[in-house]
Amino acid sequence: MYKSFLIDLDGTLYRGEELIQDAPSFLAWLRDEGFSFAILTNNSTRTPQQVAEKLLRMGFYVTAEEIFTSSLATAEYLKTKHAGKRIYPIGEEGLIEALQKAGYSLVDGENPQDVEVVVSGLDREVTYEKLARGALAIRAGAAFIATNGDKALPTERGFLPGAGSLAGLLSITTGVDPTVVGKPSKIIVEMALNRFGFKQKESLIIGDNLHTDILAGKNGGLDTLLLFTGVTTQEEAETSTIRPTYSFSSLTEVRQWLMRKG
Ligand SMILES: [Mg+2]
């Protein structure tokens, strides 16, 4: 029986600005039943407070402490591999705050030799100069870490360049592939289990995307639950080689299933 859940955000609890109707009551039910959960998102741009505020506005009761972004996962991962090193970040508030709160000294990258780690996330105000500094630092020997590999960012305008596209540009320029922290990497799963004290065998990862959520669960050794409320369609799931442990069409069905399991 599962005791803890790692739950995706976009496509699982909401779609952009649109609430998925049964999601707030699902989380409330988990809480009432004594299950543990954490929200696991690849989005590196927002701080946990900003994510919690959006969820609150939509009718969820979730605290900032229950939210784990790819930026937080990156900061945790850095502690294990690059403790105390000087970091040149390409990213927004969510990344900068996570690195600062973890105690890292951030450098402006003007001198490539000064940079020990380049961390790239989504930066919607990126400039050629920012990317140039990242590329020069990587060429000078800095480690290269990407918060997540999402190539496209779904928006009201359509699919815009994602964090993975910016990391890809640095990768093409330098010939160095980044260590990717976010889903589908097992790193974010391991960091989340560690941070929240969840046990691998008692945890289930829930999400709408076969190629990120479900693959991350598989890579991290967790059972997986695919929801058809977002990116992946039932048709795609049936023909894919990536097989989730479970699949459901709504969180209401998931709740009914968990109740039957007792
Ligand atoms: Mg999703």
- Give the tens place of pLDDT for each residue, 164-215: 999 999 999 999 999 999 999 999 999 999 999 999 999 999 999 999 999 9
pLDDT value of position 155: 82
> Cα of 15 to ligand 1 centre, how many Å?
8
Q: Is 10 a catalytic residue?
A: yes
Ligand 1 ion: residues within 5 Å (CB)? 8, 10-11, 208-209, 230
Q: 83-180 has which CATH code?
A: 3.40.50.1000
Does 83-180 match 4-42+183-261 at the fold level?
yes
> Cα of 207 to ligand 1 centre, how many Å?
6
CATH top class, domain 4-42+183-261: alpha beta
> Cα of 3 to ligand 1 centre, how many Å?
22
pLDDT tier at 31 (50, 70, 90 boundaries)? Answer: very high
- Give the tens place of pLDDT for each residue, 93-121: 999 999 999 999 999 999 999 999 999 99
CA separation, residue 56 to residues 50, 52, 197, 227, 229 (Å): 10, 6, 25, 22, 20
Domain ranges for the chain, please list them.
4-42+183-261, 83-180
Does residue 127 contact residue 90 with C-beta atoms inside 8 Å? Answer: no
> Cα of 18 to ligand 1 centre, how many Å?
13
pLDDT value of position 96: 98
pLDDT value of position 93: 97
pLDDT tier at 143 (50, 70, 90 boundaries)? Answer: very high
pLDDT tier at 153 (50, 70, 90 boundaries)? Answer: confident
Q: Is 22 a catalytic residue?
A: no
